[in-house]
A and B are shown apart, each in its own frame.
Chain A
């Protein structure tokens, strides 16, 4: 049996105004240690102003293949994009 500590996913907000972004993962026995390790591992050069750690086992993922039917409903709805629409020449601010 593995004696590895649980795996955590680390999310870093690099500066105010930006979302937290996945930075990587690490092992730690608990959330507090995961935060401390994440600080030492991912923000040694002031790369972050805020950290989240999430147990990897708590993440639910969509199926593996990114081209998979899960995402298909969005594929044929080009009318969700502004470029779908015809705008007569000379019409501005639209």
Chain B
């Protein structure tokens, strides 16, 4: 990348199942104002706005970015909307970062949101298709067979998914912005929860949330006065078709290629040793061991052993994953990827509060979407790259 880029401001809403106190505009404004405040900036300091959200069907508002321009101080400035399904929060950040690394802008505001309470994502993802039986059953119905394939391929025991569900909820109970706060969750309560999409239980599944996230990205010059910038060390996006003969859906090539690119930019050869924390898009508990392998933290078939050893817990693990509670605690779909990127930045800046890990120097933020076909990732560091 040509110019350096840093995160200098981060904001998020209090996430909840229904934020009926605000409109969509009020929701994104709340996150954006917090990011500006964190950066010590005003609307006038922002050069451009990049916004992302998942499919318009989720709120029934076509092109919501058109009506959100005043709420985001974008009047008279460049504004664009990004869409890559569930990974959009991540790819939105990267489009904004490219506007800085390319030298075009000094300070870019990036925002992502979802207001799931306006409709029902389960419905929006399960609309019967012409000429086909009505078999679609939401994201869980799509991903559960892939999880079953992972379990068969790796020989992982049944309790791994339960362990991730418990760990991420315990992490999330320390995050005041998280939607779900479940400090009393137990292995038994997850195990005994309803089997919604066998092999996926209710408590191994992410919630539906209303929420927004925002960040201010700055050039090296604009970040000079920031007390704690988080520097971009590497970033990449990759995609692949939803279906083709021989596609590996458990360990998608687009994810492997994407992270290889990011690690090469950041000079990382041993991710487990060189990365201190990771915020990874895990909407269903089993995606932690799957992505541990896809992202090179464990050899193929070995990810579940890392989870099982407690390595990904912030209570004593050497590579804590999703200290914020992750998507399993908070899922405003369009914002979920940006929250991963923002939480990675909070860790690098030492500002994550009760879920801060000591001495974080490098952190990974990750998002995926569609039928595991869109990937966006970045690695941030406390030092300039």
A is bound by B: no
B residues apposed to A, CB below 8 Å? none
